Amino acid sequence: MNYRITAVLFGVVFLIIIFINEDDRALSKADRQCIQREWHQNPTIKETTDHGSSFFIAFGDVQKRVEWLNLPEIVTSEKSEILMLIQSRSENLGRRNVLRRTWMDKNNSQMMREGRMKALFLVGIVDKDENVKKLLLEEANLYGYLIIVDLIDNYVGLTYKTIASLLYATSKAPKFQLIGKIDEDVAFFPDRLINLLNDDVIDTNTSRLINLLNDDVIDTNTSTLYGEIVKEGGEVNHDKSKRWHVTEKAYKCKKYPECLSGPFYLATRKAAIEDVFITGLLADAVGVARKSLPMLHMLPEDKTVEEKTEMLAWHTSKNNDQYMEFFTKNSRTR
C-alpha cells in the first residue's frame, strides 16, 4: 500500500493554534505555487509502509523505521463502523483514565455500548526513559487498547504519531469504514454521530421518520474527510523563538491551504488509503473531498461553547477534574 505524506501535515496538525487576520487570508499565485511544490515528492524516496511488527515512515526528507512496541487486539463485529484513534502523551495517564471513564465508557455511550465505535490510544515513548516505557506496557496489559510506538513523544513527533495512527487503521483494522483522529484534550460526545451516520432518523417532535439532507450525512462509501474546515490563507509561524513554530525545512511556504482542524476529524476508509492522506491541498489533488461536520468547536479560547445546546466535539483546555464535570453535566442534555 502506497502512502506519500509530505510536510504539509504540519499545517493540518497545528493550524488550529494559529490566529489569522481575516483580511489577509487570500492565497497569491506565488503562495499556491509554493504549496504545489511542497507536496511534490522525490520519486526516489521510499514509501510509508507497514511491515507487521514495524513500519517505515517517509515524510518529506525524513525516512525512518519505527517499531510497533504494543499492538492491541481489537474485537470487532458486523456492527463495527468507527475506529477512533486518540493522540495521547506518554505521561498523561490521568487524562487517559478520564477518557476511559467518560466517552469511552460503554455506560456513557450508545455507540460504544453497541460496538459501533471502538477507541484506541496511541502514545510514543520518552527518550531513554525505560521506566516510562515499562509503565506504558503495564498500562497496555491492564486496559488492552493502547498502541505504543517507538517514537519520541514530543512536539515534532506529533506529526509522526498521526501518520502511525492512519497507518494502523488502514493496515491493521480493515473492518472499520470510518477512521477518526482525536486529541486527548477534546471533549467528545460520540452519540451525536448517530444521526449523522443514518440516512433516516426519527423526528423527536413528531415521532415520524425523516430523511436528512445528503450534505448532513456521513457517507462511508465516498472518499471524504469530515471535520471543521479552516479557510485557506493561515499564516505559517516560522519564528524559531515561538513554541509552536514550523521550521522552513518542514514547510517553506508562508501560508497554509484550506484544510481541516487537527484536533478532531473523520476520514472514510477510501480517503485514508489514498496514496496521499492530507486534509489540505493534497486532498484536492487526489480527489478526496472535505466536508464540514456540525457541532464542532475547535478553539479552546471560545468560552461561549459551554452555553451551546448541541456539541459533538470541543477542543478544550479544561483540566482532568473540569473535563469530567463538563462531560457528566452535558452528556445528560446532549
The three-state (H, E, C) secondary structure of 248-279, written as one string = CCCCCCCECCCEEEEEEEEEEHHHHCCCCCCC
User: What's the first-to-final CA gap in the chain, in angstroms?
Assistant: 40
Q: Distance between CA 225 and CA 218 in Å, rounded?
A: 9
The tally of CA atoms less than 13 A away on the side-chain side of residue 12 is 26
Starting at the edge strand found earlier in the chain, the sheet holding 62-70 runs: 49-50, 54-59, 62-70, 146-152, 117-125, 82-87, 178-183, 259-268, 224-230, 289-292
∠ CA 275-279-118, rounded to 5°: 85
| Residue 263, helix vs strand vs coil | strand
Q: Distance between CA 59 and CA 252 in Å, rounded?
A: 15
Question: Average pLDDT for residues 8-20, to the nearest whole number?
Answer: 38
The domain in which residue 40 lies consists of: 4-331
> Would you state the pLDDT for residue 281?
45
Chain segment 259-299, per-residue pLDDT in tens? 888 899 999 988 876 533 344 445 555 567 888 999 999 87
| Residue 271, helix vs strand vs coil | helix
Chain segment 25-75, per-residue pLDDT in tens? 678 889 888 877 776 655 555 677 889 999 988 766 678 899 999 999 888
Q: What is the largest CA-CA distance in the chain?
A: 61
The domain total for the chain is 1
Question: Average pLDDT for residues 132-160, to the nearest whole number?
Answer: 89
Chain segment 94-143, per-residue pLDDT in tens? 999 999 999 999 999 999 999 999 999 999 987 677 888 899 999 999 99
Length of the chain: 334
If one compares 199 and 91, the residue with the highest pLDDT of the two is 91
Check if the beta carbon of residue 126 is closer than 8 Å to that of residue 152.
yes
Name the residue with cell 510514543.
Answer: 124
